[in-house]
Every structure is written in structure tokens, then in C-alpha cells.
Amino acid sequence: MSQIPQSVIVHPRENLGGSIEVPGDKSISHRVAMMAALASGTTKISNFLQSEDCVNTLRAMEALGARSFFTAEGDLTIQGTGGNLLEPAGPLNVGNSGTTIRLLAGILAGQSATYELTGDDSLCSRPMTRIKDPLERMGAKVELTGEKGTAPIKITGGRLKPINYTLPVASAQVKSCLLLAGLFAEGVTSVTEPIPTRDHTERLFRTLGIPINVDGLTVQITGFGPSGPSLKARPFRIPGDFSSAAFWLVAAAARRKSVVNIAGVGLNPRRIALLDVLKRAGAQVEVKLSSANSDAEPVGDIRITGGKLKAVEVGGADIPNLIDELPLVAVLGALAEGTTIIRNAAELRVKESDRIATMAANLRLMGVEVEERDDGMAIQGGGALKASAPVRSYGDHRIAMAMAVLATCAEEPVVINNVACVDTSYPGFWNDLKQIGGQVE
């Protein structure tokens, strides 16, 4: 994996289609790696996402005492610490990964030692008071040594008290941070979210035999005290990442009669709101579940056939369920007849880039009329797409990939600069684009 900035030229294509198996789910890979590192014994994981973000989680867990190995077939084994985490000599640098820093902070808050967490410039500009405040209420000391409520983070933990906490923003990362910290508290930690967010942590806890109680928007966990839970290693298979499949779903949706099949993809109901958006926009979507009811996460196949796209509006409770796909909803907006509106999505401003500003700037470069709003945007779609200058990734993987999908629908080849960031979540992206008929230099 390289960090050298690179550019690509993406050529327009009349048609794209075929079958793709997308790489493992990023959110689930992070969580399984962390829990495997806390368990005793060796966890075997197939389809673990070998992207920079997830490798950063593995590195951090290694610095805390776990050992991880990839087999020649690409399977991962993690030798756990049995809950006895080491105190690393220096700061844990987790690169670009918001999920790693926020979830790991929850685990470290439960340890009676001092740890430092840091990351790249993008991560060190993202808000961390959202975890500091509740972790401090639980009794940890959390210093944000960055300029304004940002990483580097210094955590001194141990002897946590349980809390009842209502999240001020809908964030699965913050919810998960508190559930992980709650494992090390004495008593019942209760987290209430304003809108449902992805529940991979809750599902994983159940799979590992950790009792968890979900009542509406409230999740409760009974802590095991400072020594934490005694977890036994067990094998996992990570489903394909719906957020990676989303690029090909939109690529197909944009072309009449283009068909893309995606096999073995995660279909967690809190992740797949894009399917409904695609249907409303005019695509034909068929889903076939292949998982057993007893599986921790629903998995299945998706077949999409493109159609003539019309504008849609997204907002409200769909936003957390679509959060990582919103750059692609903006792409759909550029391709659909009419005005596409994204609202209630201010969280986009604090992702790997300010995704409202960066998508608006890139769409305008392509000749699309966009009104940027505090919590979203309005996009006038259906016009001719031609880049007046190279498109920029702003170092944000999802911006680079969303713009690559849009570029396949342009009138002329489009240069996209600084695309090394794609390795953050989807190292095989360019090959998969070629596999469905894309042309990339």
C-alpha cells in the first residue's frame, strides 16, 4: 500500500456491468480485530478487509500485545491478549481511521494505564469531544492535545463508573466507544441514540456471548469490572462491504439496462438505505438473502439494473443509514433529471473531509449546478458532464471513488488527483472498476 499521491484518468463508458465480489466490511473488520485482540486464544478471520484503516487497527492491537498473521490465502489469525493489554512505549498512530481512534479510546478508557492515540492530519482535525465528554463522566481522564477538541488524545483510564448517556449526535462510533468502555465498568451502562445507527458492535457482542439489552433507541450493557470480559476466540467470516458495493450499484443505476451482480455482501438493515434511494431514483434492485437467521450479520446478493434516473430527496432517519454513501447520492443527483436534495447531513462536514464542500466543489468542476447548504446540498442533475480542471480527492477515499464513478458518465476523460487514499478502504477499487468494463489509466 502506498502513500504516494497518484493521479488517474478515468474514461467515459457507455455501459458498465458484470459480477463483483467486494472486499470485507470495514466497520466489522475493525470491531472483530479489536475483540479478537481482547479474547484469549487464536481467532481465525476470513475476508478481513486488508485496507490501510484496518491494518492500522491491527498495528494498534499489536502494540497492545496481540499478534496477527495473514495466511497465503489472505485469511487473518489474531492471537489475543486475554485482556492483558501492554502499555506501548509511544503513541498509537492510527492513520486516517476514525473508527479505530474512537472505538479504541473506549477500550483504553477501561485500562488502568496511560495511552496516547494520534493519526494523520485529517483524523487530527476531526471532533473528539464527542467521546471525551462521556468517557470523562465514566471516570477516565481524556486530554485532547490537538488544537480544538481534536487528537492527539491522552487517556488515563481504569475503574470506570457506568453512565446513562444520550448521544447528542447520531454516531455509531461514539455509541460503540461507550459500549466498549462499558465492558470495563461496574454496573449497567446505558446509551441512547437520537436515530438508529449501525449496530455491528451490538451484534458482535451477542455473537461473543456478551449480554446486551436493546430497547428501542437504548442499548444497555452490564460491565464486567476493571478486568473486562473473559472472551474466547471463535472464527469469523466478514461479509462484503455494502459501502464498497455502493460504488458499483450507482455505476449500474446510471445506465439504462446495465446490470451489476454483487455476491456475499453485508445487508445489515442499518446500512442499506441506499437500496431504497436507488429504487426511488428509477433503478431495479433485487436482493437475495443467503445468510441463516442465526448469523450475526445478514448477508446476500444484490442485482441491480439501471434505468432513467429521476431526482430524489434524502434526509431524517435515513441519514445515518446512508452516511458513507452520501457522496454517491450526490453523484446520482448529478446524473438524475431534476433537483436532488440532501438534508440533515451536517455530520458530512466532519468526515475524512468536509464532504459537503468537497463534493460541491468537484461537482461544480464537472459543470453541475450545486447549492451548498449547512446540512446538505441541492443538485441540479441531468446536464452534460465535462471537467474544467482535474478533480481532487482532498485525501478522502470516498470522494475519490465517488468521483471516479461519475467520471465514467462524463463526455470526456477526467483526471482525478491524489487517489492513493483509496487504499484506506478499498485497495482493489481500480481493478474492480476495470472488471465491470471501466477504463482507467
- How far are the Cα atoms of 172, 173, 174, 175, 392 from residue 169, in angstroms, in the given order? 9, 10, 9, 10, 29
Choose the stretch contacting ligand S3P; rule: CB under 6 A; options: 59-67, 167-175, 248-256, 386-394. 167-175
The CB-of-271 to ligand S3P minimum distance in angstroms stands at 10
Choose the stretch contacting ligand S3P; rule: CB under 6 A; options: 171-179, 283-291, 338-346, 356-364. 171-179
Amino acid (one-letter) located at 115: Y
The CB-of-349 to ligand S3P minimum distance in angstroms stands at 12
Choose the stretch contacting ligand S3P; rule: CB under 6 A; options: 168-176, 177-185, 287-295, 428-436. 168-176
Q: Nine-digit cell at 394?
A: 482532498
Binding-site member from 324, 396, 423, 432 for ligand S3P (CB under 6 A): 324
Residue nearest to ligand S3P (CB): 27
Strand order in the sheet with 299-305: 18-20, 259-266, 299-305, 284-289
Contacts for 334 with CB less than 8 Å, ≥ 6 apart: 363, 366, 368, 379, 381, 385, 406
Asked if 123 interacts with ligand S3P (CB under 6 A), we say no
Cis peptide before 5 (omega within 30 of 0): no
Q: Nine-digit cell at 124?
A: 487530527
The CB-of-174 to ligand S3P minimum distance in angstroms stands at 7
C-alpha R_g of the chain: 21
Binding-site member from 107, 172, 177, 436 for ligand S3P (CB under 6 A): 172
The CB-of-317 to ligand S3P minimum distance in angstroms stands at 14
The CB-of-243 to ligand S3P minimum distance in angstroms stands at 7
Q: Tell me the site size for ligand S3P, rule CB under 6 A.
A: 11
Asked if 171 interacts with ligand S3P (CB under 6 A), we say yes
Question: Toward ligand S3P, which CB reaches closer, 53 or 432?
Answer: 53
Decide if 415 contacts 407 (C-beta within 8 A).
Answer: no
Amino acid (one-letter) located at 228: G
Asked if 27 interacts with ligand S3P (CB under 6 A), we say yes
Q: Collapsing DSSP states into helix, strand and coil, what is residue 390?
A: coil
Question: Toward ligand S3P, which CB reaches closer, 202 or 301?
Answer: 202
Residue 334 to residue 365: CA distance in whole angstroms: 12
Mask: binding to ligand S3P, 197-236, rule CB under 6 A, as x and -? xx--------------------------------------
Question: Toward ligand S3P, which CB reaches closer, 197 or 358?
Answer: 197
DSSP β-bridge partners for residue 439:
11
Q: Which sequence positions are flagged as catalytic? A: 324
The closest alpha carbon to 413, from 109, 4, 10, 102, belongs to: 10
- In SS3 terms, 88-152 reads as CCCCEECCCCHHHHHHHHHHHHCCCCEEEEECCCCHHHCCCHHHHHHHHHCCCEEEECCCCCCCC
Residues 328 to 347 in contact with ligand S3P, rule: CB under 6 A:
347
Choose the stretch contacting ligand S3P; rule: CB under 6 A; options: 14-22, 109-117, 166-174, 275-283. 166-174
The CB-of-150 to ligand S3P minimum distance in angstroms stands at 14
Question: Toward ligand S3P, which CB reaches closer, 205 or 365?
Answer: 205
Q: Collapsing DSSP states into helix, strand and coil, what is residue 211?
A: coil
Asked if 173 interacts with ligand S3P (CB under 6 A), we say yes
Question: Toward ligand S3P, which CB reaches closer, 197 or 362?
Answer: 197
Q: Nine-digit cell at 350?
A: 466532519
Binding-site member from 323, 405, 407, 440 for ligand S3P (CB under 6 A): 323
Question: Toward ligand S3P, which CB reaches closer, 190 or 197?
Answer: 197
- SS3 percent helix, strand, coil of the chain, rounded to 5, is 35, 25, 40
Choose the stretch contacting ligand S3P; rule: CB under 6 A; options: 165-173, 246-254, 290-298, 300-308. 165-173
Asked if 179 interacts with ligand S3P (CB under 6 A), we say no
Decide if 230 contacts 40 (C-beta within 8 A).
Answer: yes
Between vectors from CA 50 to CA 46 and to CA 52, what angle results, nearest 5°?
A: 155
The CB-of-28 to ligand S3P minimum distance in angstroms stands at 8
The closest alpha carbon to 164, from 128, 136, 188, belongs to: 188
The CB-of-347 to ligand S3P minimum distance in angstroms stands at 6
Binding-site member from 57, 96, 99, 393 for ligand S3P (CB under 6 A): 99
Binding interface with ligand S3P (CB under 6 A):
27, 99, 171-173, 176, 197-198, 323-324, 347
